[in-house]
Amino acid sequence: MTDQGPVYKRVLLKLSGEALLGDQEYGVDPAVLSRIARELRDISAMGVEVAVVIGGGNIFRGAGLAEAGMDRVTADHIGMLGTVINALAMQDSLEKLGVFCRVMSALKINEVCEDYIRRRAVRHLEKGRVVIFAAGTGNPFFTTDSAASLRAIEIGADIMIKGTKVNGVFDADPVNNPSAQRYERVTYDQVFAKNLGVMDATAIVMCRDNHIPLQVFNLNNDGDLTRLIRGEQIGTIVERGEP
Ligand code: UDP
């Protein structure tokens, strides 16, 4: 299977901020960053156009700060700035590997990265640059999962891929429930009906209504991203059901 080419032309990968934690409780583990960067380099070298949305949960989550008493909008601004920090760290790791990369932010921070402009983002992708979308949607009260759905639709990605800590979508939390069963395939409507913890409702509806499939896989399994890009059945695919 190793000489099998990619089955996708353009993908959007969603990485949670927590994925960058490694064994730490806060911040970014450089070893984890480099490992993910190598995987991104490998799929980019296969000729796939790679866009990435990074979360910020390893730094600040707006809802958590608001619970502690902060104004929610300010808290979400802080959360979005956290995603910019992660995006810059990932850009650095990619550039160390010789990968051309651009960070595009939904909030204007021109001194450190480009503004998000859809046509420019698509041009970067066509030129083979990895594009990292930072600052979520640029609006409070959203998540980076919703930002990832939005960007995937805007850039015309073939698929959205969500890297998590577990091997896909399960019928119960696999961390606390060893008998939890993994789905190979599930529809967006089943995700709602069974209340499966895949993404927030806004993100699910965006993907469902705009016909974007979602593949959920374990980011800690080395090489799974590459195998998935070659079309191997890895993790769980979430799709629209038959009409
Ligand atoms: N955020 C926001 N608007 C967005 C995306 C993110 O306000 O469009 C803020 C929000 O406070 C969120 C934080 O950024 O808690 C970090 O994003 P998220 O929690 O989605 O990160 P992840 O869980 O993927 O690490």
Mark 173-188 as b/e (b = at least 16 C-beta within 10 Å): ebeeeeeeeebeebbb
Which CATH number goes with the domain that contains 28? 3.40.1160.10
225-235 tens-digit pLDDT: 999 999 999 99
- In the reported structure, the alpha carbon of residue 48 is separated from the centroid of ligand 1 by a whole-number distance in angstroms of 27
pLDDT at 4: 83
- In the reported structure, the alpha carbon of residue 93 is separated from the centroid of ligand 1 by a whole-number distance in angstroms of 22
Q: Which long-range contacts (CB under 8 A, 24 or more apart) does 169-176 make?
A: 169/196, 169/198, 169/216, 169/235, 169/236, 169/238, 170/196, 171/196, 173/197
Tokens of 219: 């980011």
Residue pair 21/58 in contact (Cβ under 8 Å)? The answer is: yes
CA distance 172 to 196: 8
Nearest atom in ligand 1 to 80's CA: 14
Cα-trace Rg, the chain: 17
Residue 198 lies in a domain: yes
Q: Whose CA is nearest to atom 13 of ligand 1?
A: 79
Number of structural domains in the chain:
1
Best residue among 144, 149, 161 to mutate for probing ligand 1's pocket (most ligand atoms within 8 Å of CB) is 144
CA distance 207 to 187: 11
Q: Which residues of the chain have pLDDT under 70?
A: 1-3, 242-243
**DSSP codes, 193-216:** HTT-SSS-HHHHHHHHHTT--EEE
- In the reported structure, the alpha carbon of residue 54 is separated from the centroid of ligand 1 by a whole-number distance in angstroms of 9
Residue 32 lies in a domain: yes
Q: Collapse the DSSP code of 52 into the 3-class scheme (helix H, G, I; strand E, B; otherwise coil) and give the result.
A: strand
| Residue from 183, 163, 160, 165 nearest 193 by CA | 183
List Cβ neighbours of 99 (8 Å cut-off, separation of 6 or more). 37, 40, 41, 44, 130
CA distance 243 to 83: 37
Q: Whose CA is nearest to atom 15 of ligand 1?
A: 61
pLDDT at 59: 94
Best residue among 60, 76, 164 to mutate for probing ligand 1's pocket (most ligand atoms within 8 Å of CB) is 76
β-partners of residue 132 are 52, 103
118-175 tens-digit pLDDT: 999 999 999 999 999 999 999 999 999 999 999 999 999 999 999 998 999 999 999 8
Q: What is the separation, in whole angstroms, between the first and last Cα of the chain?
A: 34
pLDDT at 54: 96
φ, ψ at 13 (rounded to 5°): -105, 125
List Cβ neighbours of 108 (8 Å cut-off, separation of 6 or more). 115
pLDDT at 241: 83
Residue 211 lies in a domain: yes
Residue 5 lies in a domain: no
Residue 178 lies in a domain: yes
Nearest atom in ligand 1 to 145's CA: 20
Residue 2 lies in a domain: no
Residue 41 lies in a domain: yes
pTM of the model as a whole:
0.96
Residue 207's domain spans which residues?
Answer: 10-239
pLDDT at 243: 57
pLDDT at 192: 92
Q: Whose CA is nearest to atom 23 of ligand 1?
A: 57
pLDDT at 67: 94
